Amino acid sequence: MSKIIANYTSRRSFLKGASTLGALGVLAPSIFSPRFAQAAVNGEVLSGCHWGAFRAVVKDGRWTEVKPWEQDPHPSHQLAGVMDSVYSPSRIKYPMVRRAYLEKGRGADVEDRGSNDFVRVSWDKALDLVAQELKYAKATHGPRSVFTGTYGWKSAGKIHNSRSLLRRLINRGLQMPNVTHTGDYSTGASQVIMPHVIGTLEVYEQQTVWPVVVENTEVLVVWGADPIKTNQIDWLIADHDSYTYLEEFKKTGKKVICIDPLKSKTAEFMDAEWVQVKPQTDVALMLGMAHTLFVEELYDVDFMDEYTAGFDKFLPYLTGETDQTPKSAEWASEICGVPADKIKELARLFMGNRTMLTSGWSLQRQHHGEQPHWMLVTLASMLGQIGLPGGGFGLSYHYSNGGTPTSDGPALSGMNDGGAMEGSVSIPVARVVEMLERPGEEYDFNGTRYTFPDIKIAYWAGGNPFHHHQDRNRMIKAWQKLETVIVQDYQWTATARFADIVLPAASAYERNDIEAMGSYSNKATVAMKKIVDPVFEARSEYDIFVDLADRLGNKEAYTDGRDEMDWIRHYYEQAQKQAASKNLEMPAFEKFWEDGIVVHPVSQAAKEYVRYADFREDPLLEPLGTPTGKIEIYSKNIEKMGYDDCPPHPMWMEPLERLDGPDAKFPIHVNTGHPNDRLHSQLNGTILREGYAVADREPCMVNPKDAEARGIKSGDVIRIFNDRGQTLAGAIVSEDIMPNVIRLYEGGWYDPVEGGKIGSLCAYGDVNTLTPDLGTSKLAQGNCGHTVIADFEKFEGELPDVKVFTAPTNG
Amino acid sequence: MGKHETITFSNSDRSLVYRWLASFFTSEVKIETLESYSSPEGKALLDVFALAPELSSFTNQLSQMAQLPKEDYQTQVLDLATAYSRLFLGAGGAHSAPPYESAYYNEKGTLFQKPTADMNKLLQELGISIESSLKEPADHLGVQLNVLAEYIDREALAEASGDQASAHALHENQIWFLSNHLLNWVPSFCEGCKRFDPSGFYEQLAAALNTWLSMDLARLNEAGTTT
DSSP of A225-252: --HHHHTT--SSB---THHHHHHHHHHH
Helix axes A370-383, A282-295, angle to 10 degrees: 20
Q: What is the DSSP letter of A362?
A: G
The helix (run of H) or strand (run of E) holding residue A635 is: none
Edge to edge, the sheet with strand A597-599 lists A513-517, A524-528, A597-599
- How crowded is the C-beta side of A294, counted as CA atoms within 13 Å? 23
Work out the average pLDDT over A83-107: 95
Q: Nearest 5°: phi and psi at B125?
A: -60, -35
CB < 8 Å to B111, chain A: 87-89, 91, 535
- Asked whether residue A435 is assigned to any structural domain, the reply reads yes
What residues of A act catalytically? 151, 153
In chain A, the percentage of residues whose pLDDT exceeds 90 is: 92
A768 annotated to a ligand binding site: yes
pLDDT of amino acid A811:
31
Answer yes or no: is pLDDT of A4 > 60: no
Work out the average pLDDT over B81-107: 93
CB contact at 8 A, A145 and A484: no
Shortest CA gap B25–chain A (Å):
11
CATH number of the domain enclosing B49: 1.10.3480.10
CB contact at 8 A, A392 and A218: no
Across the strands, what pairs with A516? Answer: A525
Q: What would the pLDDT profile of A454-504 be if each residue is shown by its tens digit?
A: 999 999 999 999 999 999 999 999 999 999 999 999 999 999 999 999 999
Q: What would the pLDDT profile of A12-66 be if each residue is shown by its tens digit?
A: 455 554 555 555 667 888 888 877 655 567 899 999 999 999 999 999 889 999 9
Interface with chain A: mutation pick from B41, B62, B136, highest number of A CBs within 10 Å? B41
- Residues A339 and A306 both lie in one domain: yes
CB < 8 Å to A19, chain B: 12-13, 16
pLDDT of amino acid A721:
98
- Asked whether residue B2 is assigned to any structural domain, the reply reads no
Q: How far is CA A276 from the centre of its chain?
A: 26
pLDDT of amino acid A225:
98
- Asked whether residue A5 is assigned to any structural domain, the reply reads no
Q: Work out how many domains chain B is built from and give that number.
A: 1
- Asked whether residue B5 is assigned to any structural domain, the reply reads no
Work out the average pLDDT over A421-439: 97
pLDDT of amino acid A359:
98
Q: What would the pLDDT profile of A314-344 be if each residue is shown by its tens digit?
A: 999 999 999 999 999 999 999 999 999 999 9
- Residues A621 and A754 both lie in one domain: no
Answer yes or no: is pLDDT of A374 > 50: yes
Q: What would the pLDDT profile of A490-546 be if each residue is shown by its tens digit?
A: 999 999 999 999 999 999 999 999 999 999 999 999 999 999 999 999 999 999 999
Interface with chain B: mutation pick from A1, A9, A690, highest number of B CBs within 10 Å? A9
pLDDT band at B3 (very low <50, low <70, confident <90, very high): very low
pLDDT of amino acid A39:
59
How many Cβ atoms are within 10 Å of B107's Cβ, its own excluded?
11
pLDDT of amino acid A37:
54
- A57 touching B, CB under 8 A? no
- Residues A674 and A624 both lie in one domain: no
- A25 touching B, CB under 8 A? no
Across the strands, what pairs with A359? Answer: A223
pLDDT of amino acid A71:
97
- Asked whether residue A552 is assigned to any structural domain, the reply reads yes
Interface with chain A: mutation pick from B7, B8, B10, B164, highest number of A CBs within 10 Å? B10
| CA-to-CA separations, A784 to A284, A353, A363, A655, in angstroms, rounded | 18, 34, 10, 10
Torsion, Cα B3 B9 B13 B19, to 10 degrees, reads 90
pLDDT band at B226 (very low <50, low <70, confident <90, very high): very low
Answer yes or no: is pLDDT of A3 > 60: no
CB contact at 8 A, A544 and A503: yes
CB < 8 Å to B98, chain A: 89, 806, 808
Shortest CA gap A510–chain B (Å):
14
Q: What would the pLDDT profile of A232-269 be if each residue is shown by its tens digit?
A: 999 999 999 999 999 999 999 999 999 999 999 999 99
CATH number of the domain enclosing A727: 2.40.40.20
pLDDT band at B225 (very low <50, low <70, confident <90, very high): low
pLDDT band at A11 (very low <50, low <70, confident <90, very high): very low
- Asked whether residue A20 is assigned to any structural domain, the reply reads no
Q: What would the pLDDT profile of A660-676 be if each residue is shown by its tens digit?
A: 999 999 999 999 999 99
Please name the amino acid found at residue A226: D
CB < 8 Å to A493, chain B: none
A481 Cβ partners below 8 Å, 6+ apart? A110, A436, A437, A455
Which structural domain, as residue segments, surrounds residue A302?
192-399+612-641
Helix axes A282-295, A340-352, angle to 10 degrees: 70
Q: Do A88 and B111 touch (CB under 8 A)?
A: yes
Among residues B172, B178, B166, B177, which one has the least CA distance to residue B211?
Answer: B178
CB < 8 Å to B28, chain A: 119-120
Q: Do B45 and A23 touch (CB under 8 A)?
A: yes
Q: Do B124 and A36 touch (CB under 8 A)?
A: yes
CA angle B221, B224, B227 (to 5 degrees): 150
pLDDT of amino acid B116:
97
Torsion, Cα A554 A558 A561 A567, to 10 degrees, reads -170
- Asked whether residue B4 is assigned to any structural domain, the reply reads no
Q: Do A4 and B120 touch (CB under 8 A)?
A: no
CATH number of the domain enclosing A53: 3.90.55.10
Q: Chain A residue closest to B172 (CA)?
A: A5
Q: Work out how many domains chain A is built from and give that number.
A: 4
pLDDT of amino acid B108:
82
- A103 touching B, CB under 8 A? yes
Say how far apart CA A140 and CA A35 lie, in whole Å: 51
Torsion, Cα A587 A590 A594 A597, to 10 degrees, reads 40
Q: Chain A residue closest to B219 (CA)?
A: A8
Shortest CA gap A18–chain B (Å):
6
Work out the average pLDDT over A360-370: 98
Shortest CA gap A492–chain B (Å):
8
CB < 8 Å to A15, chain B: 10, 12-13, 16, 48
pLDDT of amino acid A807:
43
- Asked whether residue A703 is assigned to any structural domain, the reply reads yes
CB contact at 8 A, A455 and A77: no
CATH number of the domain enclosing A151: 3.40.50.740
Say how far apart CA A685 and CA A45 lie, in whole Å: 24
pLDDT of amino acid A21:
54
- For A103, the closest of B78, B131, B155 (CB atoms) is B78
- Residues A138 and A220 both lie in one domain: no
- For A23, the closest of B10, B36, B85 (CB atoms) is B36
Q: Do B82 and A119 touch (CB under 8 A)?
A: yes
- For B12, the closest of A15, A29, A537 (CB atoms) is A15
Between chain A and chain B, the number of residue pairs with CB atoms below 8 A apart is 257
- Asked whether residue A659 is assigned to any structural domain, the reply reads no
| CA-to-CA separations, A669 to A70, A281, A339, A659, in angstroms, rounded | 42, 12, 20, 5
Q: Do A804 and B134 touch (CB under 8 A)?
A: no
A74-78, A213-217, B126-130: the lowest-pLDDT one: B126-130
Say how far apart CA A552 and CA A170 lie, in whole Å: 10
Cβ under 8 Å to B: A residues 533-572: 535-537
**Burial (CB count within 10 angstroms: exposed 0-12, middle 13-18, buried 19+), residue A735:** exposed
- Residues A355 and A492 both lie in one domain: no
- Residues A281 and A416 both lie in one domain: no
Answer yes or no: is pLDDT of B189 > 70: yes
Answer yes or no: is pLDDT of B2 > 60: no
CB < 8 Å to A9, chain B: 10-11, 155-156, 159
**Burial (CB count within 10 angstroms: exposed 0-12, middle 13-18, buried 19+), residue A129:** buried
A99 Cβ partners below 8 Å, 6+ apart? A117, A118, A119, B78, B81, B82
pLDDT of amino acid A562:
98
CB < 8 Å to A18, chain B: 44-45, 48
ipTM above 0.85, yes or no: yes
- A8 touching B, CB under 8 A? yes
Shortest CA gap A49–chain B (Å):
21
Shortest CA gap B55–chain A (Å):
14
What is the total residue count of chain B? Answer: 227
Across the strands, what pairs with A498? Answer: none
- Residues A256 and A361 both lie in one domain: yes
CB contact at 8 A, B82 and A99: yes
- Residues A787 and A692 both lie in one domain: yes
Torsion, Cα A711 A714 A717 A723, to 10 degrees, reads 70
- Asked whether residue B1 is assigned to any structural domain, the reply reads no
Mean pLDDT for chain A overall: 95
- For B223, the closest of A4, A22, A801 (CB atoms) is A4
The helix (run of H) or strand (run of E) holding residue A718 is: strand A717-721
Q: Do B111 and A87 touch (CB under 8 A)?
A: yes
Among residues A443, A498, A488, which one has the least CA distance to residue A462?
Answer: A488
pLDDT of amino acid A409:
98
Q: Do A5 and B167 touch (CB under 8 A)?
A: yes
- Residues A266 and A317 both lie in one domain: yes
Instruction: Compare A18 and B32 and report the one with higher pLDDT.
Output: B32
Work out the average pLDDT over B26-52: 90
**Burial (CB count within 10 angstroms: exposed 0-12, middle 13-18, buried 19+), residue A251:** exposed
Q: Do A808 and B164 touch (CB under 8 A)?
A: no
pLDDT of amino acid B107:
80
pLDDT of amino acid A647:
98
pLDDT of amino acid A27:
80
Mean pLDDT for chain B overall: 92
CB contact at 8 A, A91 and B90: yes
Q: Chain B residue closest to A32 (CA)?
A: B130
Domain boundary among A60, A86, A112: A86
- Asked whether residue B6 is assigned to any structural domain, the reply reads no
CB < 8 Å to B188, chain A: 808-811
Q: Nearest 5°: phi and psi at A49?
A: -160, 180
Q: Chain A residue closest to B99 (CA)?
A: A808
Which structural domain, as residue segments, surrounds residue B126?
11-225
CB contact at 8 A, A239 and A523: yes
Answer yes or no: is pLDDT of A808 > 70: no
- Residues A165 and A202 both lie in one domain: no
- A116 touching B, CB under 8 A? yes
Q: Do A33 and B127 touch (CB under 8 A)?
A: no
